[in-house]
Homo-oligomer: A and B are copies of this chain.
Amino acid sequence: MSLPHAILGVLEARPMTGYELTRFFESTARWVWTAPQSQIYPLLRKLEDSGWVEGEHQLRGKHQRRTEYSITPTGLTELRRWLGEPHEEPSQRDGLLLKALFFDLSEPENAQAVLEEHITELQDRIEQWSAHRAMLLAQETPLLTERLKNRPAQDHRRISELKAHVFDYLIRQGKLRQQWCQETLELVHTN
């Protein structure tokens, strides 16, 4: 749905091969939009058909083919068009909330285990998000560095703050969820 535009947005920073995009969507980008390799390669060919990206065939060593994709002017126009399109919230599906709705049917100890494990997992993520946020603010992530090269220096701070702010949301939302789990723990135990 939004994957084509996610790819366009990444390629706006610098040209990449399918492999590099795959790695990127498995690492940093996965906090905002995940995509496995099997989605990326076919989509790149589709995007090329649409004229939004352009692949340059290269050689790595003597025999290994690689295709480096760049965003085209048409692609950038499309990205900008999509950015101005109203955001439609997708239909909601939250497995934890669904479970919580029925926790009165399970043993309190089981519910407790589920909630505590989730709190721990969130803690992990919060730390990763915070680390990445700090790197963005310091303009130290590899992709942001590339991206800023094509922008006037006076905009650098604003751009990095905007990207960091996205991770700020993830952090705050994670903390809210932890807090909520904590409260749920109390609710499943009181009789």
- Give residues of chain A (7-57) contacting chain B, Cβ–Cβ below 8 Å: 9, 12, 30-34
B92 and A34 contact, CB distance less than 8 A: yes
- Dominant SS at the A interface? helix
Cβ–Cβ < 8 Å partners of A88 in chain B: 95
Complex copy number for this chain:
2
A97 and B158 contact, CB distance less than 8 A: no
Q: Tell me the count of chain A residues lying within 8 A, CB to CB, of chain B.
A: 71
- State whether the Cβ of A2 lies closer than 8 Å to any Cβ in chain B: yes
A32 and B97 contact, CB distance less than 8 A: yes
Cβ–Cβ < 8 Å partners of A113 in chain B: 84, 86
- State whether the Cβ of A114 lies closer than 8 Å to any Cβ in chain B: yes
B166 and A172 contact, CB distance less than 8 A: no
- State whether the Cβ of A140 lies closer than 8 Å to any Cβ in chain B: no
B1 and A92 contact, CB distance less than 8 A: no
Cβ–Cβ < 8 Å partners of A187 in chain B: 158, 161-162, 165
Lowest 3 A-B CB distances belong to which pairs?
A84-B110, A34-B91, A83-B106
